[in-house]
């Protein structure tokens, strides 16, 4: 009886997952790299349409430029870098800091991120001199698919959108809505499933 209930639960769970994926025009799929081109196109177009419907590609940069202005310089950048590099204590509470490293060299620091406790959905990314480099805004919840992260320049212009899809992959779209690539196992693949050798997240 117990075995039967477990099997029944698995069947119901799989149907639920499939129905949820169907809501975005795509069923639970094969590996992006090895599926058919028709399937890849269907997924990309479904997620493009989803993002277009949010209006993310049509937003004005003016509001964001104003919002980001007060974060243009990290006043604690030396202490924050010491925290990242040497695990020193942060100078004050109310925020978190993490280091971001180059894809091909994990020990070379590219920049660092600051996230404030009162706004956990916004990540401010600074260069190693404490100058604002990018801002990443999360829409949705990190642990629920789908959700997406909009990446803006320091002066409020949309650069790209990182869409974390129901199929488990990350689809990266440029500011004009074109696909940059799909992240699979920390590598970027283009529209036809071929690896992109050089790319910046």
- Parse the chain into domains and list their residue ranges: 31-189
CA distance 169 to 146: 10
Summarize pLDDT for 136-190 with one digit per residue, the tens: 999 999 999 999 999 999 999 999 999 999 999 999 999 999 999 999 998 999 9
Tell me if 27 sits within 8 A of 156, measured CB to CB. Answer: no
Model confidence over 33-69: pLDDT tens digits? 999 999 999 999 999 999 999 999 998 888 899 999 9
Whether the model pTM is above 0.85:
no
């Amino acid at each position: 009886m117990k075995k039967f209930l477990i099997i029944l639960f698995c069947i119901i769970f799989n149907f639920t997952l499939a129905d949820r994926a169907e809501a975005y025009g795509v069923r639970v799929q094969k590996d992006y790299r090895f599926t058919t081109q028709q399937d890849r196109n269907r997924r990309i177009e479904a997620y493009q349409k989803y993002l277009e419907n949010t209006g993310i590609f049509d937003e004005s940069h003016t509001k964001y430029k104003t919002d980001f202005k007060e974060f243009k310089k990290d006043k604690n950048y030396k202490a924050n870098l010491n925290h990242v590099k040497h695990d020193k204590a942060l100078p004050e509470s109310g925020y978190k800091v993490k280091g971001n490293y180059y894809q091909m060299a994990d020990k070379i620091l590219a920049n660092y991120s600051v996230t404030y406790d009162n706004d956990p959905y916004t990540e401010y990314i600074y260069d190693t001199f404490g100058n604002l480099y990018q801002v990443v805004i999360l829409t949705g919840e990190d642990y629920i698919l789908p959700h997406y992260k909009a990446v803006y320049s320091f002066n409020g212009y949309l650069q790209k959108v990182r869409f974390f899809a129901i199929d488990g992959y990350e689809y990266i779209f440029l500011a004009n809505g074109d696909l940059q690539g799909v992240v699979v196992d920390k590598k970027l693949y283009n529209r036809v499933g071929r690896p992109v050798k050089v790319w910046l997240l």
